[in-house]
Amino acid sequence: MTPSRQRFESLTGLRFLLAIWIAYFHVGHMYDHDGFGALPILELGVARVDVFFVLSGFVLTHIYWSQRSRPFEFGDFMLARVARIYPLYLFALLTIIGFLTLALIMGKGADLEGYSPTGLFANLFMLQSTGLVDAGMWNFPAWAISAEFAGYLAFPVFLWLATRMKARPIAFLMITLLNVFVIDQLMGRFAGQDMAASTMSGGFLRGAAVMLVGVGARVAFERFEMSSFRAGLYAGAGAICAILAAINHIGTAFVALGGALIIMGLARIDAHGKSTTLSRPVLRHLGSWSYAIFILHVPIYMILKNGLDVIGLPLEVNALTSLGMVLVVTAIAWPVHKLIEEPCRKAIRMGWEKRRKAAPVSA
């Protein structure tokens, strides 16, 4: 009998917290950049992306390395990743295309400025993080999906490194953090921007390098044995590290370190069978909507803002209106998750499995 896969429920709740964090940040960033959006606490939204990269590396390594019951198949892995992200990713892009088409029909051609075919091409094929022109004028947070996709392509190498360094897990985690630090310094010296500012240009390096920290964190987790109380202290220290690093702009490596400590601490508490605030059923359910919240919040904000303009109600960006926008996004995320994200993912994976079973077996 195959043992059931260990699940880290707190990490699902953490996904929701991170998605809400950046969705809230983007209201001010989009519509009051130099006012409400310039508050230092909102700039922490930037750190959310890097913590999410670490989380993805950790969870994928847990599934495909730590608890893998059969050899790793890159084709199966990539199909699962595409099934997970692309249907909703495409839905969000089509929503923006529909919104822009409506603007054109209504004679608001100025709203189309910057939305070029090159940018659309980059978005369709998740190439925004490679620096293609005008890629950011579409669903701009989707650069993070493009950046994470670079990590998917490198994942077989990551797993090979994890296996080679399994006997020296702490050293491996430190090497992955050093790798982020070195790339960050090189980007600042030769590209004129540090890693925290690398989104549309150089974001693929950021995504892959920080995901590797998550891989290192999962390998190190094998030796991360301690009480739930101590694990909670590590998670708290990680949160402080990530927040201070983001506010003071002291480098992505320190944000990634903070993220690794948060994730390892929460996972260890879950492994002990103890509950955390993030592992409660409500937050677990909300966590399953996190991708919908992340990928849809900008298209929804665009529709809401222009709807308010049409009826003559200007958007005054503040803490309450930002919260209201986020609540609308969350409410919309639930039916989209149930009616589009889950069915499409299941259909793609079932189709792949049927095709594999129907394929002739070579002699």
pLDDT tens, residue by residue, 20-29: 988 998 998 8
pLDDT digits (tens, 9 = 90+) for 192-221: 888 888 888 889 999 999 999 999 999 999
Query: Is the pLDDT score of 164 beyond 80?
Result: yes
Question: What's the pLDDT band for 359 if we cut at 50, 70, 90?
Answer: low
258 touches 242 (CB < 8 A): yes
47 touches 243 (CB < 8 A): yes
Q: Give SS3 for 188.
A: helix
Q: What is the pTM of this model?
A: 0.93
How many DSSP H helices and E strands does the chain contain?
14, 0
Ordered DSSP codes for 215-253: HHHHHHHTT----HHHHHHHHHHHHHHHHHHHHHT--HH
pLDDT digits (tens, 9 = 90+) for 216-234: 999 999 999 999 999 999 9
* Residue 339: C-alpha distances to residues 88, 190, 346 (Å): 10, 46, 11
Structure tokens at 182: 């070195």
Q: Which long-range contacts (CB under 8 A, 24 or more apart) does 235-240 make?
A: 235/261, 235/262, 235/264, 235/265, 235/266, 235/269, 236/265, 237/261, 238/262, 238/263, 238/264, 238/265
- In whole numbers, what is the pLDDT of the chain averaged over residues? 90
pLDDT value, residue 325: 95
Burial degree of 190 (CB within 10 A; 0-12, 13-18, 19+):
exposed
Q: Give SS3 for 311.
A: coil
Q: Helices 203-221 and 45-61, interaxial angle, to 10°? A: 50
pLDDT value, residue 45: 57
pLDDT value, residue 71: 85
pLDDT digits (tens, 9 = 90+) for 242-283: 988 888 888 899 999 999 999 999 999 999 999 999 999 999
Question: What's the pLDDT band for 111 if we cut at 50, 70, 90?
Answer: low
